[in-house]
Amino acid sequence: MKKPLILALGVTAFSLLSFNAYAETPEEKGLAIAKEADARDNGWGDTTANMKMVLVNKQGETSEREIRTKTLEIMGDGDKGLTIFDKPRDIRGTAFLTFSHVTGADDQWLYLPALKRVKRISSRNKSGPFMGSEFAYEDMSSQEVDKYTYKYLKDEACPGDASLTCFVSERYPVDEFSGYTKQVGWVDQTHYRPMKIDFYDRKGSLLKTLTLSDYNQYLDKYWRAHTMEMVNHLTGKKSILTWSNYQFKTGLTDSDFNKSQLKRLR
């Protein structure tokens, strides 16, 4: 029951006491940080938002896509997500549906209007690029605590805001088909928001870096980054996501996330 790549709110005395009392090893502390961030983002129900995706190639040339997103929080399991492309015209109507799970492989389907068919994304292929971007299919799922093991590394100034202090931890995917061997994340100690994530490929080399910024708080509790920039260090390309018009508790239900309806979404 989590949202993609983001997490939440202000530090409490209880959480600090918990770390001191129980998180004795780097692995325990890393897990405790992940659980605390997860716990602070429960209860938002459902969201809708608009997103602009800008693809930048090595020469600096850009192309833009306009997208709508819908997300449904599922108690006891991962979230359900629906992404619908409105522009440019040649990919209008493309739809991507994800059923994330707390453990095990997620279910993902992609509808391509040009082919007029729904394609299931195999768990073996989830490391592939999502719609030509620097994000992988597995980056588009909700981030569940049990899908990783953890190791706390250190505290240091947060990237992009030196006035904040971040926990720096590694996490290792449990899924053997993940495209990553590990991720290194910076999470701010005040609000438990991810500020930066380094992704390492199957050879152990730094592959990509995701930077999250322009956070806004909703419903006096839930933080959402309005800008996400993923840089691919191997290709020199990057993808920039800009979010707007966040709406919470809109009344979405399971019926809004139906594979059989992907062909009719506009």
Task: Provide the pLDDT for residue 104.
Answer: 87
pLDDT, greater one: 1 or 130: 130
pLDDT in tens, 90-145: 999 999 999 999 988 899 999 999 999 999 999 888 999 999 999 999 999 888 99
Task: Provide the pLDDT for residue 135.
Answer: 97
| Polymer length in residues for the chain | 266
pLDDT exceeds 50 at position 9: no
Res. 8 pLDDT band, cuts 50 70 90:
very low
Maximum average pLDDT range among 2-6, 9-13, 245-249: 245-249
Q: Which two tokens stand for residue 9?
A: 């709110």
Task: Provide the pLDDT for residue 10.
Answer: 34
pLDDT exceeds 50 at position 16: no
Q: What percent of the chain has a predicted confidence (pLDDT) above 90? A: 83
Relative to beta strand 161-173, strand 238-248 is unpaired
The Cα–Cα gap between 128 and 107 comes to 15
pLDDT exceeds 90 at position 235: yes
Taking residues 74-87, report their average pLDDT. Answer: 94
**Of 36, 44, 42, whose CA–CA distance to 10 is shortest?**
36
Res. 229 pLDDT band, cuts 50 70 90:
very high
The Cα–Cα gap between 241 and 244 comes to 10
Helix then strand then coil, % of the chain, to nearest 5: 15, 45, 40
Taking every pair of Cα atoms in the chain, the longest distance, rounded to a whole number of angstroms, is 57
The Cα–Cα gap between 139 and 131 comes to 12
Res. 256 pLDDT band, cuts 50 70 90:
very high
pLDDT exceeds 60 at position 22: no
pLDDT in tens, 38-54: 999 999 999 999 999 99
Task: Provide the pLDDT for residue 253.
Answer: 96
Mean pLDDT of the chain: 91
b/e burial code for range 52-78 (CB count within 10 A of at least 16 → b): ebebbeeeeeeeebebbbbbbbbeeeb
Distances (CA, A) of 78 to 83, 106, 127, 146: 16, 9, 19, 11
**Of 172, 176, 181, whose CA–CA distance to 202 is shortest?**
181
Other residues' Cβ atoms within 10 Å of the Cβ of residue 111: 22
